Amino acid sequence: MQVAPIAFDQFNALADQDAQARIEAAKARLGKRAVLLCHHYQRADVYRHADITGDSLKLSRLASQTEAEYIVFCGVHFMAEVADILSRPEQISILPDMAAGCSMADMASRAKVERCWRELAEVLDPDEKVTPVTYINSAADLKAFCGEHGGIVCTSSNAPKILQWSFARREKVLFFPDQHLGRWSGHKMGIPLDEMVIWNPDLEMGGLTPEQIRRAKIILWHGYCSVHQMFQKSQIDRFRAQWPDGKVISHPECSFEVCAASDYIGSTETILRTVHDEPHTRWIVGTELNLVDRLAEEVKPQGKTVQFMAGTVCMCSTMQRIDPQHLAWTLENLVAGNVVNRISVPAHEAGLARIALERMLDAS
């Protein structure tokens, strides 16, 4: 007989220590039926329970290779969607707190992108001239849009290679939702900055003239990560003045000025690997605080010092919403036979999104 789901109310006031104990007990009872994924930006009191850690695409691909029935994704909404798209049909993707979203992903909606496509059609034929490229940090329906229109998905590590794939097919790229990753990747390919224009979805024709659209190689969506917006070149300048031999590594979601002033640019996985492997002993890192704090502790035994680039606390506030209380509630419901907060992408949308994701995997 189906048991009614356990309400979250009784977990809301649960002390952290009690929540931790209940998470461990529920995990033990579930065994291999559930796999717990934690993104690098996840808070420490949740991250400690992870079965697999990594960036969003890596986590989804690894989870699909496990025997787990339940994929519990401690990340944000779009990550759990990717897990659902790439997992086997019998696997169930779960997000412990539905409020764990991504402000960047929310900056590009399907309706706004479709309007952009219609407005571009007033100047040129976008299905002949423009390859839509969506960063993996986007909703499933935008990945589906790319699948439907000959486009593709990219990650922060393969974006330049994906742009090469895109330009081999059409002469322009519409890149969304993160303008900074698109700009830096285009710059790495040698595309002049004045041939990369910003499309503001709140303005008619994106705020661009027909001539600007015709001349552009990359049309960048007016989107950004609120965390990586906090980093400034002046912070790098102060670090270099104090530590001339120190090294700077930043995520490509940072502004162009920050990327240009850095010694290394890379995804979360690249940042971790580089700081671990390179011989330099002092680093400043431009990415989310939880990752930086964890990395600093990991390399301390090597005699390395790692500091956060911003002077103020700056973390992924939406991912922080997944706390021990929500995780305990999710897992105890699974023990009781109830699935809460299932993320299920509609079949037609998932099929088109999978096309765009598989193009990326084939290309990279």
Residue 159 lies in a domain: yes
Question: What is the Cα–Cα distance from 287 to 308, expressed in whole angstroms?
Answer: 8
Domain, as residue range, for 339: 9-101+319-344
Task: Give me the number of domains the chain comprises.
Answer: 3
Q: Would you call the peptide bond into 244 cis, given omega within 30 degrees of 0 as the criterion?
A: no
pLDDT of residue 239: 98
For residue 320, what pLDDT is reported?
86
Least confident among 2-6, 81-85, 164-168: 2-6
Any idea what the CATH number is for the domain that residue 123 is in? 3.40.50.10800
Please state, in angstroms and rounded to a whole number, the distance separating the CA atoms of residues 183 and 196. 7
* Whether residue 183 is found in the same domain as residue 235: no
Query: How much is the average pLDDT of 339-343?
Result: 97
Q: Is residue 363 in some structural domain?
A: no
| Per-residue model confidence (pLDDT) at position 1 | 47
Of the given ranges (1-5, 106-110, 127-131), which has the lowest mean pLDDT? 1-5
- Radius of gyration of the chain from its Cα atoms, rounded to whole angstroms: 21
| Same-domain status, 219 and 330 | no
36, part of any domain: yes
**Looking at residues 177-194, what average pLDDT do you find?**
97
Sheet containing 342-343, strands listed edge to edge, beginning at the edge strand earlier in sequence? 52-54, 34-39, 70-74, 92-94, 342-343
Answer yes or no: are the C-beta atoms of 319 and 42 closer than 8 Å: yes
Buried b or exposed e, range 108-134, using 16+ CB within 10 angstroms: bbeebbeebbebbeebeebeebbbbbb
pLDDT tens per residue across span 65-91: 999 999 999 999 999 999 999 999 999
Q: Are residues 207 and 127 in the same domain?
A: yes
Same domain, 40 and 79: yes
DSSP helix/strand/coil, 62: helix
The sign of the torsion formed by the CA atoms of 117, 123, 129, 134 equals: negative
Mark whether 220 and 116 lie in a shared domain. yes
- Report yes or no on 352 lying in a domain: no
Are 61 and 30 part of one and the same domain? Answer: yes
Query: To which residue do tokens 């995804």 refer?
Result: 267
Going by C-alpha positions, the residue among 211, 186, 188, 209 that lies closest to residue 196 is 186
State the CB neighbour count (10 A cutoff) for residue 297.
10
- Residues 53-68: tens digit of each pLDDT: 999 899 999 999 999 9
Q: Does 301 score more than 80 pLDDT?
A: yes
Q: Percent of the chain having pLDDT more than 70?
A: 99
Residues 6+ apart with CB under 8 A from 361: none
- Residue 364 reports pLDDT greater than 90: no
Residues 340/329, Cβ–Cβ less than 8 Å: yes
Q: What is the signed CA dihedral for 109, 115, 121, 122, rounded to 10 degrees? A: -140
Q: Using CA atoms, how far apart are residues 58 and 43, in angstroms rounded to an integer?
A: 19
- Whether the CA torsion 190, 194, 199, 200 is positive or negative: it is positive
> What does pTM read for this prediction?
0.94
Mean pLDDT of the 280-285 span: 97
pLDDT at 183 over 80: yes
Same domain, 40 and 80: yes
Residue written as tokens 């509609």?
A: 346
Please say which residue of 191, 225, 259 terminates a domain: 225
What is the predicted pLDDT for the residue at 319? 84
Domain identity same for 116 and 199: yes
Q: Are residues 261 and 158 located together in one domain of the fold?
A: no
The identity of residue 137, as a single letter, is N
Strand (E) or helix (H) holding 184 = helix 179-188
